[in-house]
Amino acid sequence: MTRYTLEQIKAAGWLKEANYIDGRWVAADDGRVYGVDDPATEKRIGEIPWVGAAETHRAIDAAQTAFTSWSMTTAGERAGLLGRMAQLVRDNLDILASMLTFEQGKPVAEARNEMKLGADYIQWFAEEARRINGEIVPSPWKDRQILVTREPVGVVGAISPWNFPFSMLSRKIAPALAAGCTIVIKPSEFTPFCGLLYAVLAEKVGIPAGVVNVLTGDGAAVGAELTANPLVRKITFTGSTRVGKLLYKQSADTMKKLSMELGGNAPTIVFDDADLDLAVENAIAGKFRNSGQTCVCTNRFYVQDGIYDAFAERLTERVQQMKVGNGFDDGTEQGPLINQAAVKKVEAHIQDAQSKGGRILAGGKRHALGATFFEPTVIADATPDMVIAHEETFGPVAALFRFKTEREGIDAANSTEFGLAAYFFTRDLARTFRVARAIQSGMIGINAGVITTPEAPFGGVKDSGIGREGSTHGIEDYLNLKYLSLGGL
Ligand code: NAD
C-alpha cells in the first residue's frame, strides 16, 4: 500500500482545518484554535477551530432547516448519495489511511482496515435506507385500518471518541442520513480530521448544505448545547461511561432518544479444552490491536488451571515477537498510545498489579522508542483486588487470572459493572451454549477474538450503554413509529 505525506494529504484537500456549518467552512467565532499532534512523533500536524455553544447553536439551526427538505427526499436518493460516499472512501483508502495514522498512530494496515470498515458501514446503511418499511396491523374495528409508519426523528447530535475516529462515526452518520435525519457531529479533539472528513465527503458527493455539520472544540460546551437544545431529538455518543452518564442526565429535560456506546472491561475465558493455537492468536488480535485502545479489547484473561501455564508461555513468546514502531514503518504491529495521559494510566495499572503480587512475563514499561510507545505486556498471577480487574486499562497489557471450575470462570467474567464484549474458547458444544447464556454482555466472541462487522448489532449492557449500532437494528434509534388509525372504511 502507498503511504502519503502530510503535505500530500493536505494538498489533496482531505485534511481540513476548519469547521463545516450549513455548507460553509468556518473558523471559531473568536478565532481560537487547538493544536493536534502526531502521537508517534509528538509533532504538530494541524490546528482546528475551538468552538463553543454559539457555533453549536447555529449548526443545530442549520440542521433543523435542512431537515425539512432532506426528510422529504426519497430513500433511493439518500441511498444513492451514501453509496457514492462509501465508494469515495474505497477509492481513496491509502491516502485516508495515512491521514488516520498521522492523527491516531495505529499502523497503516490497521488504519486501512478501519477506513474500509467505515465504508462498509456506510454502504450497509445506504442499502437499509430502502428497507424502512411500515406495517399494516389486523384491526379490532371492522371499519378501520391500523397503519404504522417510521419517520426520521429529526436533528441528531453525535459525539465520538479518538480510538476509531472514522469507523465509529460511520455507524452514526450513515443510519441518521439513511433515515432522513440531519446531523451535528463533534469528533474527539485528539483525532478531529477523520471527523471533519465526513464534511469533505458530504460536500464532494453533493449532500445539501445543513444536512451534515461538523464542529471541533470544547466537548463540555458543545455537549451542553447539543443536549439542552430542544431541536436536537437524538444524541448518539461513543466514549467513556463517565461522559455518557453526564450526557444522559443532561438530555433528560428535553426527553431525547439516546444511544450510548460506552466503556468496556472485556473478559476472555480460556477453558482447558480450548484450541491453544486459536486462543493465543485471537488473544493477540483481540488484545493488542490498536495498542489495546479498543472498547472491545480483552482486559481480563481468565485461564483455567489445566491450560494456564501453556497459555501464559505461548502468549508471552508471541508478545515478545511483536514489533513496536511508528505506524508508517514496515512490519509495525503496535503503534504508540494516544497521549501521555494514556501511558500514565497503563503504568499505574501495572504498578498496582505488581504491588499486589502480579508477575511481569513480558514488557512492563515504556518502550525505548520514547514518546508514547509502550512495550506489549503480559502479567501473570492477576487477582480480583487489582485495579486492572475493575477498570478498563485501554493499553497493551494482558492480565492473566487463574480459575478452576466453569462456574468460577463465568462468575469472574461477570464481576464487573461493564458488559460490552466477552470472549471464550472451548471445543465443547454444550459448554458453548451454557457459557454464552450465562455471560452478561452485549456481544460474545466464541473461539473468535475480532467480531465487529456491519451485519451484526454492536453494543453493550449494564454500564457499557444502551442501543445498538450496525445490523438491521442500527437504524431504529433514528426513527420514530407513528400509528395511524384510519376510520370510516
Ligand atoms: P471520552 O468520553 O473522554 O470522549 C469522547 C468524546 O466526548 C470526545 O469527543 C470528547 O471531546 C467528548 N467529551 C468530553 N467531555 C464531554 C462533555 N462533558 N460533554 C460532551 N462531550 C464531551 O472518551 P475517549 O477517551 O475519547 O474514548 C475512549 C472511551 O470510549 C473508552 O472508554 C472506550 O471504551 C469508549 N469506546 C466505546 C466504544 C463502544 O462502541 N462502546 C467504542 C469506542 C470507544
Task: Name the residue at shortest CA distance from atom 14 of ligand 1.
Answer: 219
DSSP letter, residue 324: B
Pocket of ligand 1 contains residue 185 by CB under 6 Å:
no
Which own/partner contact pairs does 406-412 have at CB distance under 8 Å and 24+ positions apart? 406/271, 406/431, 406/434, 406/435, 409/269, 409/271, 409/302, 409/304, 409/435, 410/269, 410/435, 410/438, 410/439, 412/267, 412/300, 412/302, 412/384
Residue 77: which residues within 8 A CB-CB, separation 6 or more? Answer: none
261 part of the active site: yes
Three cell numbers, residue 376: 506489549
Pocket of ligand 1 contains residue 173 by CB under 6 Å:
no
Q: What type of residue is 470? A: G
Three cell numbers, residue 246: 453526564
Q: What's the 190 CA to ligand 1 centre distance in angstroms?
A: 11
Pocket of ligand 1 contains residue 295 by CB under 6 Å:
yes
Q: What share of the chain is helix, strand, coil (3-state, %, to 5)?
A: 40, 25, 35
Three cell numbers, residue 324: 513496536
Torsional sign, CA 278, 387, 396, 48: positive
Q: Which residues of the chain have pLDDT under 50?
A: none
Task: Name the residue at shortest CA distance from atom 13 of ligand 1.
Answer: 219
Distance of CA 160 to the CA centre of its chain: 7
Residue 445: which residues within 8 A CB-CB, separation 6 or more? Answer: 282, 286, 421, 422, 423, 424, 451
Q: What are phi and psi of 142, to 5 degrees?
A: -70, -30
Three cell numbers, residue 77: 436518493
Pocket of ligand 1 contains residue 158 by CB under 6 Å:
no
Distance of CA 80 to the CA centre of its chain: 25
Which own/partner contact pairs does 310-314 have at CB distance under 8 Å and 24+ positions apart? 310/276, 311/270, 311/276, 311/279, 311/280, 311/400, 312/361, 312/378, 312/380, 312/400, 314/276, 314/280
Spot the catalytic one: 225, 261, 392, 469.
261
Beta pairing partners, 401: 302, 382
Give residue-wise pLDDT tens across range 194-208. 999 999 999 999 999
pTM over 0.95: yes
Terminal CA-to-CA distance of the chain, rounded, Å? 64
Across the beta sheet with 359-362, what order do the strands follow? 359-362, 377-382, 397-403, 298-304, 266-270, 421-425, 443-446
pLDDT score, position 59: 99
Residue 459: which residues within 8 A CB-CB, separation 6 or more? Answer: 259, 261, 420, 442, 443, 465, 466, 467, 468, 469
Q: What type of residue is 39? A: P
Whole-number mean pLDDT of the chain?
98
Q: What's the 41 CA to ligand 1 centre distance in angstroms?
A: 24
- Residues making up the chain, counted from first to last: 489
Separation of alpha carbons 447 and 441, rounded Å = 16
